[in-house]
A and B are shown apart, each in its own frame.
Chain A
Amino acid sequence: MDTALLIEKLVLVVLLFLVSLGIAAYSTYFERKLAAWIQDRVGPDRAGPFGILQPIADGVKMFMKEDFTPKNADRWLFILGPGIAMFTALITSSIVPWGTDLYLFGRTIVLQVADFNIGILFVFGTISIGVYGIMIGGWASNNKYSLYGAIRASSQMISYELAMGISAITIIMMSGSLGLTDIVKSQHGMNWNIFYQPVCFLVFFICALAETNRAPFDLPECESELIGGYHTEYSSMKLGLFLFAEYVSMFVSAAIISILFFGGYNFPGMDHFSGNTLALLSVLVFFAKIFFFIFVIMWIRWTIPRFRFDQLMHLGWKVLIPIAIINLMLTGIVIAFHEGWFLN
């Protein structure tokens, strides 16, 4: 076993873990500030200058609260639920290529924890496992509102996974590979997929909102109907993990969206740089894209009201899936034409 490689990957994993949690923590602050700005309020401004210590104060508060387990709850599954939610949210970032290769101590360091040749399918795997956190947590609470939340979450996830998968297949056909590294490399410079597949992007983006349970698709925790949805019975840091997992998965889905449609770490004029300068610039560009999409997702939450459940199902099955399938077929025909299938 190559020890240097092991250390390199370990450092990357720890760094990624800290960055994911840090960004998720400050997303909560940013979201509250943004909401305040949109609604013409001030927002959190007490903890530290401009309230920037608010996430830390929130975290401390979460830990200090009483950790309450309902009497009729399934004890182990009640603990397992938020754990799975957090785990699946964090693990997806392991296959994201964060930048071009870095050269340090005479070694080439790939800024990606694991390069599977099935990268995009791994993302879908973790998404489809992520629903178990909500389902198990909601069921184990032994509360009817939690159960309603869990059932809504699972049916919503399964419905939107289909359209999401079909629009991802379109991108796979464009780049000819399932690996995220190859998908990013095929969009070198400004050759981004968004210019070829705007409809596909729209479908994927809407599905990503639904899969991360973000407004206007946050029906599993719809407080006006279900009290708190799947986390009604949760308190203390278990509740914190559920809420935090949502922000982590928002960060990761922003990363996946920028990889699939906005060229990942690619930026126009990247050929003028090389070596470590290029690596640092590419990481910065990638994070700028991620922050932009996190902003857009928040912006949508504070602009559009929540869907009704039947509207959600109608949109998923009768609008998004047909659009995605038609787009897939058209892309297939164009690619076949491009490869010269119809010429002779």
Chain B
Amino acid sequence: MTAELINWILGGLSIGSALMVVFSKHPIRSVLYLIVTFFLVSGLYIMMNAQFLAIVNIIVYAGAIMVLFLFVLMLLNLNKATEPKTPLLVMLSSVGAAGIFVLVLIAALKDSFIQKSGQVAGNLNAGMVENLGELLFKKYIVPFEISSILFIASMVGAVLLAKREKPIID
């Protein structure tokens, strides 16, 4: 019972802070709420016995990517005067895109409601490091390696973009 209660609290709080990301007036506040959301989602991972995923979520998203977000926002120093005007068409099309995304999510999650709430599907220890490693390096080795190639490609691209600037500055 306690576990289910904690699940409900964590779920409610994460939805609340996710909404605050959207409704916050200030971009820095939005990013801070997003960090809080990542923490709460990590809490949900821990409730599902996936400690590795939880801590990696914190290290990678809350600890590295969000720091870069904050970094850029602090440098931009956004305020009312410098806020870019968004055309109506762009706003409408972004609402449409978000709607389609929600549709896809609902379609994907439709079957998960058949599971009784509070019950973890499949192996209880599936989230432990050893089991996750076995799964990643045996069953899903090809997608895993392909995604790492994707990462290297994007890293090379970033380095290339940064390099190109140099002769102009000097």
Whether A associates with B in a native complex is yes
A residues within 8 Å of B by Cβ? Answer: 77, 116-118, 121-122, 124-125, 127-129, 131-132, 135-136, 139, 147, 150-151, 154-155, 157-158, 161, 178
Given contacts A136-B32, A158-B64, A161-B64, contact A151 B71 (CB under 8 A): yes
Given contacts A150-B74, A154-B70, A158-B67, contact A117 B32 (CB under 8 A): no
Given contacts A117-B129, A128-B67, contact A139 B74 (CB under 8 A): yes
B35 contacts which chain A residues (CB < 8 A)? Answer: 132
What are 11 A-B contacts with C-beta separation under 8 Å? A117-B129, A118-B52, A121-B52, A125-B59, A128-B58, A132-B35, A132-B70, A135-B71, A158-B67, A161-B63, A161-B64
Bound CA–CA A135/B74 (angstroms): 9
Bound CA–CA A116/B51 (angstroms): 9
B residues within 8 Å of A by Cβ? Answer: 28, 32, 35, 51-52, 55-56, 58-59, 62-64, 67-68, 70-71, 74-75, 128-129
Q: Which 6 A-B residue pairings sit nearest by Cβ, starting from the closest?
A: A128-B63, A121-B55, A125-B58, A154-B67, A125-B59, A118-B51
In contact, A147 and B74 (Cβ under 8 angstroms): yes
Chief secondary structure at chain A's binding surface:
helix
In contact, B129 and A129 (Cβ under 8 angstroms): no
In contact, B63 and A125 (Cβ under 8 angstroms): yes
Given contacts A151-B71, A158-B64, contact A125 B55 (CB under 8 A): yes
Chief secondary structure at chain B's binding surface:
helix
Minimum C-beta distance from A321 to chain B (A) = 12
Bound CA–CA A77/B35 (angstroms): 14
Bound CA–CA A178/B130 (angstroms): 10
Bound CA–CA A342/B67 (angstroms): 43
Q: Which residue of the partner chain B has the closest CB to A129?
A: B63
Bound CA–CA A135/B58 (angstroms): 17
